[in-house]
Structure 1
Amino acid sequence: MQKFSVDTGTLFTINTKTKKLYSGDDEIMDISSSFTPQKMEFMRAGGSYQIVFGKKLQTFAASTLKMDIPKVFAPFKEISNKNQGLTAVEKIFNKNALGTSGKILHAGSYTRVKVNIVGSQDTTGLMTSQELEMMAAKVISPTIDGAYQSGCHTASVWDIASQENIPKLMRFMNDFGLITGRDPNNKYHPLTDVIHKVLNDLTVDDWSIIIGGDSHTRMSKGVAFGADSGTVALALATGEASMPIPESVKVTFKGNMQDHMDFRDVVHATQAQMLKRIWWRECISR
């Protein structure tokens, strides 16, 4: 039995009692660490959507009735280090956190947060639209500040598949409430700007949390996360996302940015310098 590669058609069994993965009678590995309280809750509910929308309704009802949120759902992991300051990322998460115990949260915590900006990518947007249809969502969450459906990936490769699928995607997302790279009513020319630039133009708040489909996350303000089509759909429908608070590193730039540059170039420069330092350290260690 292969343990590091899987043949197409291989059948696996997850035993929820022993919390192990099997192929027939052969035990492949222990997966108990994957059975978090939240995932167990998803299993009992028959899916994650039921829990996500249940929490959304509960939070709204408790806020409307001006009462504390009843502890019905599995609690998220909260890490609060006494007398420890906050990074910029931790401050943004604490400002946007939903349904927490009220503690100051540090990196390593897992929490629900309000999402401000959402970007859907055109090559995976069709899956996002399918997810929205599956959850019977009809309109974008009113708590979202802005959302964009890109058309930049297919703009230069306008093949037969794109010609068939992208107009349908743009119509769906436009009706749903997003700004779309192509106007289904042909009132403006197709927008060819890459999704990174458009999201940066939309992101006007230093405290924003941005969800970008398929790693489209190079933002000049706030904190951004790449996401799969399902997470993008949930963010569009609920204005929320659940995620861990990441560790972060402060990077300071000095001087003036050249006219021909935008913030994406700054991000690339940061990565290039980090990789160069890592490479140099490896050379020294050898």
Structure 2
Amino acid sequence: LIVDEDGDAILKQLYSVDTGTVLTINTKEKKLYNGDKELMDISSAYTPQKMEFMKAGGSYAIVFGKKLQTFAANTLGVPVLKVFAPSQEISHKGQGLTAVEKIFNKNAVGTSGATLHAGSYVRVEVNIVGSQDTTGLMTSQELEMMAAKVISPIVDGGYQSGCHTASVWDDKSKENIPRLMKFMNDFGLITARHPDHKYKPMTDVIHKVLNDLTVDDWAIIIGGDSHTRMSKGVAFGADSGTVALALATGEASMPIPESVKVTFKGEMKPHMDFRDVVHATQSQMLKKFGGENVFQSRIIEVHIGTLLADQAFTFTDWTAEMKAKASICISEPETLIQSLEIAK
């Protein structure tokens, strides 16, 4: 941190990359160059998986190759041979599991069978997938590049939203969105707008709809929106390519994140809204850790068990603002049943 004589921070430009600057990656030396000047060593980025992608000319061949191999091995009842680069597996003998670790272990595909902990990079089966309307066209293009024709049969549900363009229904939206909705409807998703206008447009935000579609506490949800947070299961925002692969294969590859556990004590006063609890959580966390946001890039887990879906969604939706990777609100069976009744 650079400060002036009064102790105030000074913004100083240490380097810049101007438009038109040509940077060179030397794949043999695994270094980044600007002309003849070496900028940095990037060897740590050359993981076995990325090297495999480079040799295959892209990730699609590897993703579908793994999918086909696993399917064939399971169908024939034979072991899966180790022909692909192994994923990083971290397992601590005798150590318990966080909620997200339990969910990932349950949904993991193609692992060694060891109990996996945070830091492991794994393939997992995905239950619910949501495509956002501003990135949906890119998702549809990537599905076409894969020659994918229909949503994976192992996906419980898929949704194509129309919430972002609904508020700005300009000429560009009128041109693109009907085309997107037809493609996704034909692909097998529930679409916010029916291609043949069989129902009125649904303008609910994507994560709210995905929240209503999710009924399983063990579900993994992928959504093309940074606010993809659910009151059930664990949900992750994703780019258009990850959404496309999830729709086509029913799988996603990602590291198991670390977790931070949040607990509540006492009873909420009648005059309070759950949003007040959310703000108090943020305030207490920042106070306890000296202003450091310990939620960033981690999973926030709430184990109280009695939060109804609307309260849990309020909390999990806020975790996106705190830059958390995702959030989990564990529900007791009675609470989950009550939430599902309310959502009818």
Aligned-pair CA distance for 1:192: 1.3
Tell me: CA distance 1:169–1:86, structure 2 relative to 1, closer, same or farther (3 Å): same
Residue of structure 2 aligned with 1:16, choices 22, 27, 32: 27
Question: CA offsets per residue over residues 22-76 of structure 1, 9 Å max, x none?
Answer: 1221111111111000000000111000000000000000001101100000000
Distance 2:77 2:210 in 1: 35
TM-score (norm 2): 0.76
Query: What residue is the counterpart of 1:63 in the other structure?
Result: 74
**Per-residue CA distance 1:183-210 (angstroms, 9 max, x = gap):** 1111100001111110000110000000
Superposed displacement of residue 17, structure 1: 1.2
Inter-partner Cα distance in structure 1 for 2:130 and 2:221: 8
3-state SS of paired residue (2:164): helix
Instruction: Structure 1 unaligned segments of length 5 or more: list them.
Output: none
- Which residue is 2:192 aligned to? 181
**C-alpha spacing 1:269/1:43, structure 2 compared with 1 (3 Å):** farther
1:277 and 2:288 matched? no
Match of 2:201 among 190, 205, 215: 190
Spell out, residue by residue over 1:188-238, the C-alpha distance to the aligned partner (whole angstroms, 9 max, x if none): 000011111100001100000000113132200111111100000000000
- State the AA in 1 paired with 2:170: D
Q: Secondary structure at the match of 2:290?
A: helix
The aligned counterpart of 1:30 is 41
Residue 59 of structure 2 corresponds to residue 53 of structure 1: no
Q: Structure 1 residue 279: deviation in Å? A: 5.0
**Deviations for 1:67-108, whole angstroms, at most 9, x for unmatched residues?**
110000000010100101111100000000000000000001
Q: Which amino acid aligns with 2:144?
A: E
How many residues in Structure 1 have an aligned counterpart in Structure 2? 278
Q: Does 1:128 align with 2:136?
A: no
Residue 110 of structure 1 corresponds to which residue in structure 2? 121
CA contact (8 A) 1:3 1:28 kept: no
Query: Which residue does the alignment assign to 1:246?
Result: 257
**AA paired with 2:64?**
F
Q: CA deviation at 1:278?
A: 1.2
CA distance in 1, matches of 2:283, 2:128: 29
SS at match of 2:257: coil
Identity among equivalent positions (%) equals 76
Compared CA separation, residues 137 and 6, structure 1 to 2 (3 A): same
**Cα-to-partner distance string for 1:258-286 (whole Å, 9 max, x where unaligned):** 8x97xxx66x95476235531565379xx
**Aligned with 1:165 (options 155, 169, 176):** 176
**Which position in structure 2 is the counterpart of 1:200?**
211
| One-letter amino acid matched to 1:274 | Q
- Which of residues 82, 86, 98 in structure 1 aligns to 2:97? 86
Cα distance in 2 between the residues matched to 1:130 and 1:238: 16
Aligned mates of 1:31, 1:274 — CA distance in 2: 36
Which residue of the other structure, out of 8, 11, 18, is the alignment partner of 1:7? 18
The counterpart of 1:97, out of the listed 94, 108, 131, is: 108
Work out which structure has the larger RCO, using CA pairs closer than 8 Å and 6 or more positions apart in sequence.
Answer: 1
Match of 1:75 among 82, 86, 91: 86
Task: Tell me if structure 2 keeps the 8 A contact 1:181–1:190.
Answer: yes
CA RMSD of aligned residues (A): 2.2
C-alpha separation between the residues in 1 aligned to 2:93 and 2:23? 44
CA distance in 1, matches of 2:215, 2:268: 20
- 2:165 and 2:263 map into 1 onto residues whose CA distance is 35
Using a 3 Å threshold, how does the CA distance of structure 1 residues 33 and 188 change in structure 2: closer, same or farther?
Answer: same
1-structure distance, mates of 2:78, 2:279: 46
**TM-score calculated relative to the size of structure 1:** 0.91
CA distance in 2, matches of 1:104, 1:173: 37
Shift in CA distance, 176/256, structure 1 to aligned 2, threshold 3 Å: farther
Specify the code of the residue in structure 2 equivalent to 1:246.
P
Tell me the amino acid that sits aligned with residue 213 of structure 1: G
Deviating more after overlay: 270-279 vs 133-142: 270-279
Which of 223, 228, 242 is the aligned partner of 1:217?
228
